[in-house]
A = this chain, B = another copy of it.
Amino acid sequence: MTILWAEQALLAGGWAEAVRVEVDDAGRIAGVQSGAAPQGDRHAILLPAPANLHSHAFQRAMAGLTERRGPDPRDSFWTWRQLMYRFLDRLTPDDVEAIAAFVQMEMLEAGYACNVEFHYLHHRPGGLPHDDPAEMSARIAAAARTSGIGLTLLPVLYQFGGCDRRPLGAGQIRFGNDPDGFARLVEGARAALAGLPADTRLGVAPHSLRAVTPEGLAAAIALGDGPIHMHLAEQTAEVEEVLAARGARPTRWLLDHAPVDGRWCLIHCTQMDPAETLDLAASGAVAGLCPITESSLGDGIFDGVRFLGAGGRFGVGSDSNIRIALSEELRTLEYSQRLRDRSRAALATADRSTGRVLFEGAAAGGAQAAGRAAGAIAPGAWADLVALDGGAVDLQGRKGDAILDAWIFAGDDRMVRDVWAAGRHLVQDGHHIAREAITRRYARACAGLRDAL
């Protein structure tokens, strides 16, 4: 049993002062009491640590390497994808493990407690499976053992190169499985996770409506009872392709043909019409938003005002991992709404500030999307916690919602002091406890990959 105490904490029921949190040896919150005398491990500000609900870890090593203009006069997501394919063709299992551990460390240092890894790089260069088809999944699991982050692993089903069932392109050959191969992969991934802590989860990710057939989708979601994630409605070209092939826009098609509910997390959703937005909000699924990556790739702006207004659930993920920065991710989401609508405090409500709405939403929605009993400081939840630096000049004297506003709009990761994932105290005084070794290994992997782009 560990006792934490904080001057201020955001509890399930709102802000409280002088809060004592008991964490049991399994890493769950055993008790929460406000108005308690200072005791145990003391902090200024304690918050629930959200899950990072969408990541492709390996893309971290490409950060900043794709900002030249491509041969296309009008560069786009699709030219970026070609670069990305060329890069990943070089990656070994050792690279993937080193990059994933580094990404998970950066997530923890940014204030995330859990990495939901949307994992599609399964096979050897050229497309042959590894001897263990779940070799790459095992490397993500090994990284999580090193970093200590909470892991929700989502092996990806990737069948075809488009809605017309064309074969995978050269750059996609390491992703491919038919539904039977995918079932074996999921079993292998389950075995690879066996040694990890009890908060680890396994789900499935049918990649997108471009890459899986209706039958493949049905087969994938029948595997297990964990989270189901899918890329959806990110790019206009994708909307057009799905509309032409299936007679409906992607979100509409999915809502009409799949049992979309709270198990589901739909990634991006930047290209929805108003009716799709409202129906997705009503479904109980989580919209998995990746505002920094969606800016970087020019995907467009999610209709957060309409979606949250209709009670929709959302969380955030760092996706391409070009920057892993929780406060910036939330700020980027809010600012995109303001730029589109020429407004301020776009997602605030009458009784909650913008920062509070963003943070509480991301904590609750992230946990739901991760299939993780977490997202709030409450008994029974995993002790996913982040402590902010009460000495930071922008946090001094701040109370309640103003704390989150200062962190998200004026601050950055440097305000994050301590992070716990299911009670594991991994970030201490601003740094991950294994920062040096993890960084050294990552830098070595990057040196080997240099000039790949």
Contact = CB atoms under 8 A, between A and B. Distances in A.
Contact of A353 (B67, B297, B348): B67
The 4 closest A-B pairs by CB, nearest first: A64-B406, A298-B338, A63-B410, A295-B335
A393 to B, nearest CB: 5
B348 A405 contact: no
A9 B79 CA distance: 30
A87 interface: no
Interface string A272-304: 000000000000000000000011111111000
A140 B298 CA distance: 40
Interface string A74-90: 11110110000000000
A411 interface: yes
A178 to B, nearest CB: 33
A300 B343 CA distance: 9
B68 A353 contact: yes
Interface stretch (A25-33, A163-171, A394-402): A394-402
A184 interface: no
25 contacts: A63-B410, A64-B405, A64-B407, A66-B345, A67-B354, A67-B405, A67-B408, A67-B409, A68-B354, A69-B345, A69-B350, A69-B353, A75-B343, A77-B344, A80-B344, A297-B344, A298-B341, A300-B339, A301-B339, A323-B410, A325-B412, A336-B339, A339-B339, A397-B447, A412-B412
Most buried by B among A66, A79, A409: A409
A292 B381 CA distance: 37
Nearest to A321: B410
A354 B346 CA distance: 30
A348 B68 contact: yes
Contacts of A64: 355, 394, 398, 402, 405-411
